[in-house]
């Protein structure tokens, strides 16, 4: 018997970052929107725990116990007295090390898949607590939709969205390490002698989301990690410029990058902007997707 779970990618429509905390993390006001690019995680009983991966970026995915899918299975098995001897297969469509929570999606997907296979009876709260142990973005991968994440991003409040928002995502030729981008954020703030205010969600942005107004959302999106991502990956400025020139309403780095995200008015504009981005030669590939998308879900076997 196998269980397959589908899990969405995310874009941060606002990522407000505070100063480094004593535990090394940063306090965030993180407005997540799940978008319709998905990984699928399939769990099957096996003689030992192993992870395999398919998809265009499969070669870059670690298959050892550092993979969040493997860690999710191990934590759940330990907590509920199950044997973690399972084969986890990840069919990967979310870019690797791209700032779209691909690794987090696999952690949340494996957790829900193993929970379903083993029938642990864990509550939603218990699953969310394990997600938070796995990583700051993992709880959001489980719930999907739109949410404000506070703390290090793991404490979620669901948000209303008045309609579907259309996006184009430009994938870069290499990844960026999230810890490296946060370190660069700290370095830039320190060298500018800037004190970092406490992160706060923008009221205008939350209203734009609730109204489903793409122009108002475009005027309010922001990402405090963008200067750090651009500092480590300066060519991303060309991708952002190409998307703006093609008519995107807003262009920003997705999370810690290097994927760039372009908000557009409708599905037709998405196709046009994606074609222009590809033709510009400033990205490896460009994909269209809309959000909010639903969170991790067991697919009918
Ligand atoms: O929580 P997660 O394991 O995804 O975080 C990866 C890394 O990103 C952390 O080790 C930390 O360096 C950085 N991070 C941070 N503040 C956050 C979330 C992540 O500094 N709120």
* Tens digit of each residue's pLDDT (9 = 90 or more) over 9-38: 999 999 999 999 999 999 999 999 999 999
Band of pLDDT at residue 97, cut at 50, 70 and 90? confident
Residue 64 confidence class, pLDDT cut points 50, 70, 90: very high
Residue 27 CA: nearest ligand 1 atom is 21
Mean pLDDT value of segment 285-289: 97
Closest atom of ligand 1 to CA, residue 178: 8
Relative to beta strand 3-20, strand 222-223 is: parallel
- pTM for the model stands at 0.97
**What is the token pair recorded at 204?**
């205008």
Q: What percent of the chain has pLDDT over 90?
A: 97
pLDDT surpassing 70 at residue 301: no
How many CA atoms within 13 Å lie on the side-chain side of 268?
0
**Is the model's pLDDT at 209 over the cut of 80?**
yes
Q: Does residue 176 have a pLDDT over 70?
A: yes
Average of per-residue pLDDT across 165-181:
96
Q: Is the CB of 153 under 6 A from ligand 1?
A: yes
31 touches 201 (CB < 8 A) = yes
CB atoms within 10 A of CB 75: 18
Give mean pLDDT, residues 207-234.
98
Instruction: Please report which confidence band the pLDDT of residue 88 belongs to, taking 50, 70 and 90 as the band edges.
Output: very high
Please tell me the distance between residue 26's alpha carbon and the centre of ligand 1 in angstroms: 7
* CA 94 to centroid of ligand 1, rounded, Å: 19
As a whole number, mean pLDDT of residues 63-71 equals 96
214 lines ligand 1 (CB under 6 A): no
136 lines ligand 1 (CB under 6 A): yes
Q: What is the Cβ-side half-sphere exposure of residue 124, based on CA atoms within 13 angstroms?
A: 6
Q: What is the pLDDT of residues 126-158, one digit of tens each?
A: 999 999 999 999 999 999 999 999 999 999 999
**pLDDT for 268:** 98
């Amino acid at each position: 018997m196998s269980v397959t779970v589908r899990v969405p990618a995310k874009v941060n429509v606002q990522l407000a970052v505070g100063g480094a905390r004593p535990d090394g993390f940063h306090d965030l006001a993180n407005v997540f929107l799940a978008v319709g690019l998905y990984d699928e995680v399939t769990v099957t009983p096996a003689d030992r725990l192993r992870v395999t991966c398919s998809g265009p970026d499969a070669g870059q995915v670690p298959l050892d116990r550092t993979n969040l899918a493997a860690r999710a299975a191990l934590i759940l098995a330990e907590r509920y007295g199950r044997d973690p001897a399972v084969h986890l297969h990840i069919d990967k469509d979310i870019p690797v090390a791209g700032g779209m929570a691909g690794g987090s999606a696999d952690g949340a997907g494996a957790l829900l898949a193993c929970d379903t296979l083993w029938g642990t009876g864990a509550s939603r709260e218990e699953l969310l607590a394990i997600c938070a142990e796995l990583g700051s973005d993992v709880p959001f991968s489980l719930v999907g939709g739109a949410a404000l994440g506070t703390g290090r991003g793991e404490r979620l409040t669901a948000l209303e969205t008045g309609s579907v928002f259309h996006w184009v995502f430009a994938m870069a030729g290499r990844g960026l390490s999230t810890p490296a981008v946060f370190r660069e954020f700290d370095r830039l703030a320190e060298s500018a002698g800037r004190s970092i205010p406490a992160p706060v969600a923008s009221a205008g942005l939350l209203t734009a989301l609730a109204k489903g107004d793409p122009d108002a959302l475009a005027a309010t999106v922001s990402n405090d990690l963008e200067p750090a991502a651009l500092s480590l990956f300066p060519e991303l400025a060309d991708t952002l410029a190409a998307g703006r020139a093609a008519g995107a309403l807003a262009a920003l780095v997705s999370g810690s990058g290097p994927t760039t995200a372009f908000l557009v008015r409708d599905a037709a504009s998405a196709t046009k902007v994606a074609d222009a981005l590809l033709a510009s030669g400033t990205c490896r590939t460009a994909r269209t997707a809309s959000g909010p998308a639903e969170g991790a879900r067991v697919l009918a076997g």
